[in-house]
Structure 1
Amino acid sequence: MKKILGIVAIITIATTALTYAQSKTDVALNQALTAYYEVKNALAADKKDLAIEKVKVFSAKVNAVNHKDLPADQHKIFMEQAGIIKSKAAQLAGSNDIKTQRKAFEGISYAMIKTLKGLKFNSKTVYIQHCPMAKASWLNEKENIENPYYGSMMFNCGDVSETIKSN
């Protein structure tokens, strides 16, 4: 009986520790997602200087994610996509041309979509939106279209291609 209770206690502690580590990682990932939205919102509002400022914050949030506690398959996804995100964030931050920034944001968006789908960390509903003119997608915290690829020129252009409910 003592042996069984001991095994149950060990399993409970291990599960709790893993859940706690996962929840801390999820919190960090959700903070990165919020920072991503701020970059998207700056581009949708045609604010290239603000986009530079916000992408630096976003990149720092991605760097702050404690990915070592992720299960192996999720860790692989995170590492691959984080590399793309950091590279594209550096391109966006290094340009004063909004077209170049938007092209870099496209790469960031696809990497964030893959990360979100692979790690399932979102604490709120996320909308994957697509602009047929830009032939590109992005994540939005709102169902209403806010097009970061054309900004005020075509602010409402696009549609919701997928809805990812909170986990």
Structure 2
Amino acid sequence: MKILLIFLAALLVSGAAFSQNQEASASALLKNYLDIKDALVKSDSKQAAVYASEMQATLEKETSLNEKEALLQAVQQVTKEKNIEKQRTAFMNLSTLMWNVVESSEGLTQDVYYQYCPMKKAYWLSTEKAIKNPYYGSKMLTCGSVEATKKK
């Protein structure tokens, strides 16, 4: 009986540590993602590639994320593209995958808004309710709407 209680206690502690690591990873990935988004809003393809490389490094250290391989492929597309429009196209897939990560995360430190561009028929994430469209930059900065919200 004593051994069973010790085993259960160890299982609970390791489960809590796993959950905390997963949340820390989600927060780090979200920060990387938002940096890419902000660079695309500014139409800065070089900075978007730099931030995508940082996100790739964060993902490569990740051990417990179901979407890891798909996220790696999507972020590598943003990294390797030099043309802003091709980066924005690659960002569409990255955004959908990141929303899945955010939606399944608990313990986020801020609200996350899932926003939609009707012109591109594409989504992106933001921690601000105000629309800053990464698919068109200054051309159509405020085009879009909030489709869903993940509360902290």
TM-score by length of 2: 0.91
- Return the index of the structure with the highest Cα Rg: 1
Structure 1 residue 121: Cα displacement? 5.8
Q: Distance in 1 between matches of 2:108 and 2:140?
A: 28
Q: Distance in 1 between matches of 2:118 and 2:138?
A: 16
Q: Distance in 2 between matches of 1:144 and 1:13?
A: 45
Q: Distance in 1 between matches of 2:11 and 2:68?
A: 28
Q: How many residues align structurally? A: 152
Q: Are 1:90 and 2:87 an aligned pair?
A: no
| Partner SS state of residue 163, structure 1 | strand
* 1:1-167 map, 5 Å: 3=1, 7-67=4-64, 78=66, 81-120=67-106, 122-166=108-152
Q: Distance in 1 between matches of 2:25 and 2:107?
A: 9
Structure 1 residue 49: Cα displacement? 0.6
Structure 1 residue 147: Cα displacement? 0.7
Which residue identity does 1:52 align to in structure 2? A
Contact 1:43 1:151 in 2 (8 A): yes
| Partner SS state of residue 34, structure 1 | helix
Q: Distance in 1 between matches of 2:109 and 2:93?
A: 23
Change (3 A) 1:84 1:10: closer
C-alpha distance after superposition, 1:8-50 (max 9, x if no partner): 4432221111101220121022101110000000001111110
- Uncovered stretches (5+) of structure 2, i.e. residues with no partner: none
Q: Distance in 1 between matches of 2:77 and 2:4?
A: 51
C-alpha distance after superposition, 1:89-147 (max 9, x if no partner): 22221122110000000011111112222444633211100111110001111111111
Identity between Structure 1 and Structure 2 (%): 25
Which residue identity does 1:103 align to in structure 2? T
Contact 2:26 2:101 in 1 (8 A): no
- Uncovered stretches (5+) of structure 1, i.e. residues with no partner: 68-74
| Partner SS state of residue 70, structure 2 | helix
Q: Distance in 2 between matches of 1:123 and 1:85?
A: 22
RMSD over aligned Cα atoms = 1.7
Contact 1:29 1:62 in 2 (8 A): no
Structure 1 residue 63: Cα displacement? 1.7
| Partner SS state of residue 122, structure 1 | coil
